[in-house]
Amino acid sequence: MAWFIRFNKPFGVLSQFTDRGTEGSSRPTLSRYIDLPGVYPAGRLDRDSEGLMLLTSDGALQARIADPKHKMAKSYWVQVEGIPDEAALDALRKGVDLKDGRTRPARAARIDAPEALWPRDPPIRERKSVPDCWIELTIREGRNRQVRRMTAAVGHPTLRLIRARIGEWTLDGLAPGTWEALPPPPRQPDKPRRRW
């Protein structure tokens, strides 16, 4: 049986099952929360980010979700420093220039703080003199720390980052550190090979 699960990754957890970083490291990994054999993450989520991860034992499904060439939309709730004006949001929508090139257009909008938000441990650094707000950002790429770099590029550093959706799957009803088995999505038909 092929496993397909959604998991709400807490802050500070590595999105892998072992920590190969340093000898004797006590950094928490997925193995602290998920005890299913043979499942692997379909994509990564930075250690200092939280939220939705999909894991599966089906290699083809893993590739379909994780590979940027499939352009699967990923939505994030992003708490940023300052209050982005329409020009900053429009820059995110059009694409911003990063060191590794211009990003694809994204969807970006200011939102109220998500209702089902859990406290973060440790809490974010708050500065009374600098306001903050939440935006929802949807991208179809997977560059390293892309969302954080995008918000910084428009003058609003990320304070907290939560992935809320990957394709059709959401974080709804899933507490931090818990997972749920899902029915696997239907397989996509193989593309016919072109004959010359």
Confirm whether 195 is domain-assigned: no
Selected catalytic residue, list 19, 35, 46, 48? 46
Confirm whether 196 is domain-assigned: no
Same domain, 95 and 47: no
| CATH at 36 | 3.30.70.580
Say if residue 115's pLDDT is above 80. Answer: yes
Same domain, 81 and 153: yes
Confirm whether 134 is domain-assigned: yes
Say if residue 185's pLDDT is above 90. Answer: no
3-state secondary structure 18-37: CCCCCCCCCCCCHHHCCCCC
Same domain, 92 and 157: yes
Q: Domain count of the chain?
A: 2
Same domain, 132 and 78: yes
Residue pLDDT, tens place only, 142-168: 888 999 999 999 999 999 999 999 999
Whole-angstrom distance between the N-terminal and C-terminal Cα of the chain? Answer: 38
Closest CA to 148 of 50, 82, 66, 78: 78
Compute CA distances 185 → 7, 165, 168, whole Å: 16, 15, 10
Confirm whether 191 is domain-assigned: no
Same domain, 57 and 89: no
Q: In the structure encoding, which two tokens stand for residue 30, read together?
A: 């997925």
What residues contact 93, with CB distance under 8 A and at least 6 apart?
105, 106, 107, 108
Residue pLDDT, tens place only, 3-57: 999 999 999 999 999 877 655 667 899 999 999 989 999 989 999 999 999 999 9
Confirm whether 190 is domain-assigned: no
Same domain, 19 and 52: yes
Alpha carbon distance 172, 170 (integer Å): 5
Confirm whether 193 is domain-assigned: no
**Annotation marks residue 172 as catalytic:** no
Same domain, 152 and 80: yes
Percentage of the chain with pLDDT > 70?
92
DSSP 43-102: S---TT-EEEEEEES-HHHHHHHH-GGG---EEEEEEEES---HHHHHHHHH--EETTEE
Confirm whether 179 is domain-assigned: yes
Q: State the helix-helix crossing angle for 86-94 and 146-153, rounded to 10 degrees.
A: 130
pLDDT value of residue 69: 77
Identify the domain containing residue 157 by its residue range.
73-166
Q: Dihedrals φ, ψ of 94, to 5°?
A: -85, -25
| CATH at 115 | 3.30.70.1560
